[in-house]
């Protein structure tokens, strides 16, 4: 029996793996399964595939291939950047990050505080935007690193990375950006931006889960998080996840080739979804700035409704969406992002994120627009707050 259809609006949680990516990975398990560090030709062949993938991912962010370090995921990449900045600057124990970072950064910050570091969390305004002057004022002589995400995973709000990087450079402070939500949606350019570190995760880009990169600018002091063998030029030990690295490379190449065609189409679908919801359902407000915002993301609060109940009804119709960050789904605590933006707990708990991808179709948007109004009516009819 085939599975029922899935209407997928959760591409900020993870993305469909591109068939071209699957195809690129298979030979690494069937034929070229050698160890890339081996001295014989069979190993060299795998090493050559990794070189190609490294160049493909580097091209996506305009880096030199040698500046790309493969990691197990985006979380590891961000952990490596933060810990490296502290390890290479032993006199500096202060970190600055936004209050709306992913838990990959925030939870590490909390752990580091227990180990004697100090973390300044920068507030955002009601649109989810940062005050760069406040950021400038928060930097101290003992600041080891500033870490601000390229775009927020819940609201899609984009931060002024080039401006923040320039500011950090002028103050002599290292800068890391968690760009996990950006590729395939935004043009990335580490050289033009002038960042020291940047994290990516392949599964947000139509490649498998469990592979990421840390970009570390040439010349930036680096201390590895994972030590052992000499892989990744001694910057990340452990035999490489060869198939996934090759898949990541292919996904990066596809994203780069089709960015200009994909983005306007995704944006138009997202805007049609958003305006369709506004025109069909009352009591809906958008969370986050309209622009600059990722072209695929819409985060909406439905008054007098609980997101968990909306998600349950959506799920029954085969529609996937999420409330807050996917990593915190299952917990009923209001989203830290929406809370930081000044939303009340009720508003935050009534918020649903719809996130699209290049595979989202008009028919999927039509289906969601046809189903959602009646679901909200049902919930409001049964909600004591209605
Ligand atoms: C902004 C952001 N950073 C980091 C991560 C973590 O990436 P990974 O799942 O590869 O560890 C995510 C995943 O949701 C994310 O959205």
Q: What is the pLDDT of residues 45-80, one digit of tens each?
A: 999 999 999 999 999 999 999 999 999 999 999 999
The whole-angstrom separation of Cα 252 and Cα 38 is 26
In the prediction, which pLDDT does 383 show?
Answer: 60
Taking residue 281's Cβ as centre, other Cβ atoms within 10 Å add up to 20
Element spanning 143, H or E: strand 143-147
What residues contact 138, with CB distance under 8 A and at least 6 apart? Answer: 96, 120, 122
Residues 159-195 pLDDT 10s: 999 999 999 999 999 999 999 999 999 999 999 999 9
How many Cα atoms occupy the beta-carbon half-sphere of 269 within 13 Å? Answer: 23
Ligand 1, atom 8, lies closest to the CA of 74
Whether pLDDT at 207 is above 70: yes
Kindly give the number of the ligand 1 atom that is closest to the alpha carbon of 104.
4
In the prediction, which pLDDT does 2 show?
Answer: 81
Percent of the chain with pLDDT over 70: 97
* 327 is known as an active-site residue: yes
Ligand 1 pocket mutation pick from 198, 204, 297, 326 by most atoms within 8 angstroms of CB: 204
Q: How far is the CA of 44 from the centre of ligand 1 (A)?
A: 32
pTM: 0.96
Spacing of C-alpha 35 from chain mean position: 30
CA dihedral 20, 64, 199, 243 (to 10 degrees): 40
Ligand 1 pocket mutation pick from 79, 153, 329, 357 by most atoms within 8 angstroms of CB: 153
Ligand 1, atom 7, lies closest to the CA of 74
Q: How far is the CA of 75 from the centre of ligand 1 (A)?
A: 6
- Kindly name the residue from 117, 168, 320, 327 that is annotated as catalytic: 327
Ligand 1 pocket mutation pick from 109, 179, 181 by most atoms within 8 angstroms of CB: 181
**Residue ranges of domains in the chain, CATH in brackets:** 7-15+259-382 (3.90.1150.10), 19-254 (3.40.640.10)
Kindly give the number of the ligand 1 atom that is closest to the alpha carbon of 13.
14
Q: If pLDDT is split at 50, 70 and 90, which confidence band does 330 have? A: low
Give the residues surrounding ligand 1 with Cβ less than 6 Å away: 73-75, 102, 104, 149, 153, 178, 180-181, 201, 212, 326-327
Q: Which residues pair with 319 in a beta bridge?
A: 7
Q: How far is the CA of 74 from the centre of ligand 1 (A)?
A: 5
Q: Mean pLDDT throughout 219-225?
A: 98
Q: How far is the CA of 281 from the centre of ligand 1 (A)?
A: 31
What residues contact 53, with CB distance under 8 A and at least 6 apart? Answer: 245, 246, 248, 249, 250, 252
In the prediction, which pLDDT does 326 show?
Answer: 43
Taking residue 214's Cβ as centre, other Cβ atoms within 10 Å add up to 27
């Amino acid at each position: 029996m085939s599975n029922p259809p899935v209407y997928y609006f959760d591409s900020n949680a993870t993305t469909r793996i591109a068939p071209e990516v699957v195809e690129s990975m298979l030979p690494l398990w069937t034929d070229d399964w050698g160890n890339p560090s081996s001295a014989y030709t069979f190993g060299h062949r795998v090493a050559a595939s990794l070189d190609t993938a490294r160049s493909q991912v580097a091209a996506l962010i305009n880096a030199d291939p040698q500046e790309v370090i493969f990691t197990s995921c985006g979380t590891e990449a961000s952990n490596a950047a933060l810990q490296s900045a502290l390890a290479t600057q032993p006199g500096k124990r202060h970190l600055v990050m936004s209050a709306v970072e992913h838990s990959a950064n925030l939870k590490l910050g909390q752990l580091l505080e227990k180990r004697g570091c100090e973390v300044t969390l920068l507030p955002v305004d009601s649109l989810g935007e940062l005050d760069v002057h406040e950021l400038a004022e928060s930097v101290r002589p003992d600041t080891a690193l500033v870490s601000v995400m390229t775009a927020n995973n819940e609201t899609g709000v984009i931060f002024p990375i080039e401006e923040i990087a320039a500011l950090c450079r002028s103050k002599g402070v290292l800068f890391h950006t968690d760009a996990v939500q950006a590729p395939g949606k935004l043009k990335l350019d580490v050289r033009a931006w002038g960042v020291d570190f940047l994290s990516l995760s392949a599964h947000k880009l139509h490649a498998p889960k469990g592979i990421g990169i840390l970009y570390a600018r040439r010349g930036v002091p680096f201390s590895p998080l994972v030590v052992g063998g000499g892989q990744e030029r001694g910057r990340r030990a452990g035999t490489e996840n060869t198939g996934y690295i090759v898949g990541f490379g292919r996904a990066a190449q596809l994203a780069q080739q089709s960015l200009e065609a994909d983005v306007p189409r995704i944006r138009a679908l997202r805007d049609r979804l958003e305006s369709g919801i506004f025109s069909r359902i009352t009591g809906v407000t958008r969370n986050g700035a309209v622009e600059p915002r990722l072209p695929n993301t819409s985060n909406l609060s439905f008054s007098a409704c609980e997101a968990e109940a909306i998600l349950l009804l959506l799920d029954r119709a085969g529609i996937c969406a999420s409330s807050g960050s996917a990593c915190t789904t299952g917990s009923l605590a209001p989203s830290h992002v929406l809370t930081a933006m000044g939303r009340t707990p009720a508003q935050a708990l009534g918020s649903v994120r719809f996130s699209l991808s290049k595979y989202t179709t008009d028919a999927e948007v039509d289906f969601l627009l046809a189903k959602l109004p009646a679901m909200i009516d049902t919930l409001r009819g049964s909600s004591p707050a209605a």
